[in-house]
């Protein structure tokens, strides 16, 4: 029963967060009305497979606060989460995703969290982050054939543009500044995937590639 570390947008009332949450909660479920509805908060997984027994046990906040992260700084050395492509996938948890660019600083965060969350070497963590890590923001979970989802991608692109187009236009592609690194017990059922600890990350910048809107 493992946990995960996620990056999430700044706050529930942030316009970007509200728009993505609306897509997850209302818009995409209406595109696939015959599929069971799975609601979850917007997030980009940094690493999974964190074993509570070997890490935080009964002190999740203390453990999260103790993680050593690279030194980033808002407006000079940010971690950029740039959403660049809408994809229909085969896995349940990647049925509809916004793939994110593998920003160098995002890779550094993933490697640091992987190393400490799984108690592996720095070399192993770096190799994983550079070769295997595939950052993405999921919009829909479901047991639907990939080709069926692919047929709706054009519609979802329009819905995405409707939700995020004005944000993109007003801020030159920047959707939000800031965020949180949160620890989530993903061993529980999806509806119980809620942060059990959180850490402010003012150095995160959320962006969208021009071709998406």
* Domains, the chain, with CATH or none: 3-212 (3.90.1140.10)
d(CA 205, CA 194): 22
Q: What is the pLDDT of residues 142-176, one digit of tens each?
A: 999 999 999 999 999 999 999 998 887 877 789 99
What does pLDDT average to over the chain? Answer: 95
Q: Model-level pTM?
A: 0.95
Answer whether residue 140 shows pLDDT above 70: yes
Q: Where are the alpha helices (DSSP H) in the chain?
A: 15-22, 28-31, 60-66, 104-118, 122-127, 146-150, 153-170
Query: What average pLDDT score do residues 123-151 get?
Result: 97
Answer whether residue 108 shows pLDDT above 70: yes
Catalytic positions: 43, 136
d(CA 53, CA 126): 24
What pLDDT is stored for residue 190 in this prediction? 96
- What are φ and ψ of residue 5, in 5° steps? -110, 125
Token code pair at residue 116? 């400490």
Q: What is the pLDDT of residues 30-56, one digit of tens each?
A: 999 999 999 999 999 999 999 999 999
Residue 18's pLDDT band (cuts 50, 70, 90) = very high
d(CA 22, CA 31): 13
């Amino acid at each position: 029963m493992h946990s995960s570390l996620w990056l999430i947008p700044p706050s529930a009332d942030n316009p970007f967060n509200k728009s993505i949450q609306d897509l997850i909660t209302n818009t995409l479920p209406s595109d696939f009305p015959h599929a069971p509805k799975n609601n979850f908060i917007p997030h980009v997984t940094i690493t999974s497979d964190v074993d509570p027994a070997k890490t935080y046990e009964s002190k999740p906040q203390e453990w999260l606060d103790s993680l050593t992260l690279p030194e980033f700084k808002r407006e000079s050395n940010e971690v950029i989460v740039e959403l660049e492509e809408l994809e229909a996938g085969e896995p349940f948890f990647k049925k509809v995703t916004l793939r994110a660019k593998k920003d160098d600083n995002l890779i550094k965060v993933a490697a640091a969290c992987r190393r400490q969350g799984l108690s592996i070497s720095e070399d192993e963590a770096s190799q994983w982050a550079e070769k295997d890590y595939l950052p993405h923001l999921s919009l829909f979970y479901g047991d639907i054939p990939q080709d069926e989802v692919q047929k709706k991608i054009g519609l979802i692109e329009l819905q995405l543009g409707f939700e995020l187009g004005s944000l993109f236009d007003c801020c030159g592609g920047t959707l939000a500044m800031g965020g949180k690194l949160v620890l989530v017990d993903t061993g529980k059922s999806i509806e119980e995937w809620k942060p059990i600890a959180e850490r402010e990350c003012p150095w995160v910048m959320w962006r969208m590639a021009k071709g998406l809107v």
